[in-house]
Amino acid sequence: MTAVLKHKRATFERIEKFISDIYFTDVNLYGRIDSEIAGLKLFRSSLKDQSYGSFEAMKKGEFSPISENETFMPLWSQHWIKLVVPADLLRSSNLHLHWDVDGAESLVCEESGALVQGMACKRKEMKISATSQVLDLVYYIQVSCTGLFGAGKGGMIMPPDQDRVYTLKKAHLFSRDQNKYNVFMDLSVLFDIVKEVPEDSSLHYDALYTGNEIVNIVTLGDHSSEAYKKAHSIGRKFLAEQPENGSRDTIHAIGNCHIDSAWLWPYRETIRKVARSWSTTLSMFDKGETFHFAGSQVVQFDWLKEHYPKFFERLRRSVKEKSFIPVGGTWVEMDTNIPSGEAMIRQFLYGQKFYRKEFGIESDILWLPDTFGYSGQLPQIMQLCGVKYFLSQKLSWNLTNTFPHHTFYWKGIDQSKVLAHFPPGDTYESALKMKDIVKTVSNNKDKGRTHDQMLLFGHGDGGGGPTPDMLERLNRVSGIRGLPKIKRSTPNQFFSAIEKSGTMLCEWWGELYFELHRGTYTSHSKLKELNRRCEFLMREIEFLSAHDPNDTISRETIEEMWKIVLFNQFHDILPGSSIQKVFDDAMVDYKRFLELWRVQYDKYCVEGQDNCVINPYNWSRKEVVSIEEKSTLVSVPALYAGPPTIATTKDKCSVVELKDGIRISNNQIWADFTHRGELRSLVHKARECIASGTHANKYVIFDDIPLYWDAWDVMEYHREARQEFSPQSLQVLEEGPLRSQLLIIVPLGSHGDLKVFVSLEAESPFLAFKCQVDWKAAHKFLKVEFPLSISATDAVYEIQCGYVKRPTHTNTSWDTAKFEVSGHHWAHLSEPDFGVGLISKSKYGYSALHNQLTLSLLRSTKAPDQTADIGEHTIEYAVYPHTGPLHTSSLVELALNFNHPLVPRRAHGQCSGLRVDGQGIVVQSVKKAEDGRGTVIRMYEAYGNTCEATLERESMKMAFSMNAVESESTKISLPVSNNQTVLKFRPFEIKTVYIESEAETGHTRRASAASTSMVSPTKKPKHR
């Protein structure tokens, strides 16, 4: 004992070297655990690049013998290996396979094709069950030419190395001495305790002494079997679970495996990643391991059902046994900054629909561990979709401020409240090492308010999941005196425990702003442009479908189109933080979407007439459109599809030559430009909008070199490297009367030239800009600035179904961190009686400093996609001055009109008969109900006011409010009188109303038969 006290460090390092996989492996314990066995036979299939459905074809093909050092290429290709274990070796004790293809991922299958487990850089071993069979045992291994984190050339997030060659480094059998392995795991945990538990704890020294004693017993016993058994008994006694270990804290240990649906690899590889990872988990269950595994992202379950149907049936049984727990309820783990409110609702609608159909469950937990910040409207959307718990950990990555809570109630902008938890270990891929266990308790910001915390274990991001070593550690640390109690738990058991004990939890109101990855609001501009376009096209096609009594528009195709949109809103696709191949796949997806949309639209309008328009919004519109190549002013009723009315107006646009420039104007605003094209004045009702002594619409480029995460991050210091580019020339293209238009050329040096079309239309209160550029930059950030004659401490930014306020100053570190923020269709700066809105058609990155609003236009990052944003772009935005406060400005309506203009096209008849009146109310969706009988109207209050709205439908027989995923049990009857019902809204409230008219009652839609519950289409959509 004295020696231990005198030489603590030496004793500590003695234990470390005794179990080291680097030092003294010829004589230490680690080097004695496994004994290699010769005799494994390997053969390679002659078939190349075989994928999901290739198993039977591969088995019938030709095979050639191979050995270690066999090579595999090219990147992303698939190769099959036949592995034969001679029958006489199957009687070997504790037989294992060691498999290492230079870090490439592999999937092991039985001879029948049943999935066994995945193998990769973090999991290179597989246990082979002992048997007395007389025939050789055959496995087939699919080798995927990609690593767990892709194949970045020169770094993890760098573009993939297209010349990467994978080599079979290890392929052999070995026998594991279980006694030695048991002692090895005991010492690993004891060493971990000494390393991580503070020295002022008696547990620290108890573990040190016990570990030293075990080393002595093994060494003095000459590594005999009896010595190992005796040593393990000492370790087992020390690590035995104590009924009462003296700790009030409980850690809920839950297995998981975060798998990015696409990131540093294409989504087709993710399908295999899911098969590899989840088959490993189910194999562990089959071997008697007792833990719970949380699986999220519904699309990944759907992939397994389509590509691995037999395995999916195994998974279904595991879900029924409550070992495998489906969580999340969303189609993917989506970004929450950029998608529309309706798209986020559809994530839940189609996700929960799948869970109900396949497993008979719904998830009440939103599971977003890796998403880049969380919209302030998310709590309401969750509640409306039957979800009451929220899990993440991403805010632990904050660069500036430490988020003050781990367990709290999160209130949305409408005051909806959900219970949120961020695991205090700040990870979703713990290996159950003592570091994570100690941190989970010590780092908890809500000590005293709760004694329960979650710890998620299992390799993640690129897949993998829990390993046998992790479970061995779990067996040893579950109840050690001096440590928190560690419980094998489920997500719902954890949240239930919090609800029972967490009566003193704090609240956090509004968005959960992520102080990192702000560049993702702008990276990969075309993805964001197509996402928004598709969201608007879904409004149109569903609006038409809701007015189509003959079901001409396919419900199955509508679902397929939505799933294309939803998949590409995954938090590494839409934000633009994936490799080029993911971007290329997304472009193919969006092309497929547009083809489907066109087929459905044309089918509906086959007997229609030309020059019709669709207005899916609940306000009338008066706009200039192009009919037969001629500018025409038309007026259109609210919630209408059909031919417009040709309108007249006294408002005329004009262009006037000034002494030192050009003025374009209508009856509402005028804008003065210098002869070079600088916007020096913008006036509305005698109020100058542009700050004195400067001009607006400034195109500026910043150096854009982050600390590491290239496509993800823009750093605050980028503002210190600003370069302004002045216009070179101005040309008048149109002079009214319905439209005035200018062309301004802005040279951007070696980065390309901007062509800027500035237009002002009759009856329009905003000045519109359309930029065309062939962008050729590298690590540059293009923005446009509007210094305004407005003094405001906050700017307002639209988010899903509402808005948030963010500071224009840098008073605190929390204010300073918001130097780049996300917004949807507009940002706004105002005084009590005057304001200016900056409207964007496809951009989501904004900033506001003092009196200046800035819109982020283009980035040019080089990792993980070195081609990101290079090429031709069209960018549209507008500036809108107004008198009065925001809530009387009609900014929301005008921004939607600008983003979703009236487009004359062929249409079938007229769609009308629906009316929604209410100041500040926006109809977000008009669609067929999922039950196939009624119509669903979703709407929200947009300006933060309490108000009423009247909904009217011709021949409306009944109306119900219901949740957003249209659960029959949530229907609440609404009073109907004279085909109307009155709805009351709180600020930013979203409502879903189900209505049936006389025509709909008794009419059974073909897709729903007689079911009163939500059903899935009989024909499986072709989607990811």
Instruction: Please identify every residue annotated as catalytic.
Output: 370
Vertex 629, ends 626 and 632: CA angle to 5°? 40
Query: Please, are residues 667 and 765 in contact by the beta-carbon 8 Å criterion?
Result: no
> Band of the pLDDT at 6, cuts 50, 70, 90?
low
Specify the pLDDT at position 608: 78
pLDDT digits (tens, 9 = 90+) for 524-558: 999 999 999 999 999 999 999 999 888 899 999 99
pLDDT digits (tens, 9 = 90+) for 188-213: 999 999 999 999 999 999 999 999 99
Specify the pLDDT at position 888: 97
Specify the pLDDT at position 144: 96
Q: Which of 567, 564, 571, 521 is nearest to 263 (CA)?
A: 571
Kindly state the percentage of the chain with pLDDT values over 90: 90
pLDDT digits (tens, 9 = 90+) for 380-403: 999 999 999 999 999 999 999 999
In the predicted model, what is the mean pLDDT of the chain?
94
For range 503-511, the mean pLDDT: 96
Q: Which residue has the higher pLDDT, 501 or 427?
A: 427
For range 38-58, the mean pLDDT: 83
> Band of the pLDDT at 1002, cuts 50, 70, 90?
low
> Alpha-carbon distance 453 to 446, whole Å?
10
Length of the chain: 1024
Specify the pLDDT at position 1: 45
Task: Report long-range pairs for 672-677 (Cβ below 8 Å, ≥24 apart).
Answer: 673/730, 673/742, 673/744, 673/758, 674/727, 674/730, 675/730, 676/726, 676/727, 676/728, 676/729, 676/730, 677/727, 677/728, 677/729, 677/730, 677/742, 677/744, 677/745, 677/746, 677/756
pLDDT digits (tens, 9 = 90+) for 958-968: 999 999 999 99
For range 464-470, the mean pLDDT: 97
Residue for token pair 């970004």: 335
- In this structure, the strands spanning 115-119 and 104-110 are antiparallel
Specify the pLDDT at position 502: 78
For range 59-72, the mean pLDDT: 95
pLDDT digits (tens, 9 = 90+) for 275-289: 999 999 999 999 999
Got the DSSP string for 594-641? HHHHHHHHHHHTTT-EEEEEEE-SSS-EEEEEEETTEEEEEEE-SSEE
For range 556-585, the mean pLDDT: 98
- Does 973 score more than 90 pLDDT? yes
Specify the pLDDT at position 545: 95
What is the value of pTM for the model shown?
Answer: 0.96
Specify the pLDDT at position 1010: 35
For range 489-501, the mean pLDDT: 97
pLDDT digits (tens, 9 = 90+) for 930-964: 999 999 999 999 999 999 999 999 999 999 999 99
Tokens of 936: 């669903």
Query: Please, are residues 390 and 366 in contact by the beta-carbon 8 Å criterion?
Result: yes
Q: Which amino acid, one-letter code, is at 630?
A: K
- Does 1019 score more than 80 pLDDT? no
Q: Which of 279, 288, 326, 320 is nearest to 142 (CA)?
A: 279
Specify the pLDDT at position 688: 98
